[in-house]
Amino acid sequence: MDAVGRVWDLRSGRCVWDMFGHVKNVLAVDVAPDGHYIATGSDDHTVKIWEMRQRKCIYTLPAHNNLVSTVKFEPNNGRYLASSSFDKTIKVGVCLCIDM
């Protein structure tokens, strides 16, 4: 476990993208239903949203006061993103990167 999220090609078994940006361990990950975005949650108390095509972080959300244990896109269209934390909160927000 470390501060880097990784995308793997399951056919080749190779890492195709290292997502550098968190400063502590990445503990949670989810992929948007359209497959174009990844959300990561970290022990650094932030949630990051990554754009797959450009391979870059497009948002950093200072979401919580403790480690982020779960991130989850709304399953129908990914318009909402929920995160939970060891600070005993759940936060839900509109994901502006997703077009409806």
- Nearest in space to 98 (alpha carbons), one of 55, 56, 37: 37
Query: Could you tell me the pTM of the whole model?
Result: 0.91
Cα-based distances in Å from 69 to 26, 46, 77: 9, 10, 22
Q: What is the pLDDT of residues 6-41, one digit of tens each?
A: 999 999 999 999 999 999 999 999 999 999 999 999
Contact 85, 78 (CB under 8 A): no
Q: What is d(CA 78, CA 65) in angstroms, rounded to the nearest whole number?
A: 24
Averaged pLDDT for residues 61-71 = 96
Please report, for the chain, the start and end positions of each structural domain, with discontinuous segments joined by +.
Answer: 3-94
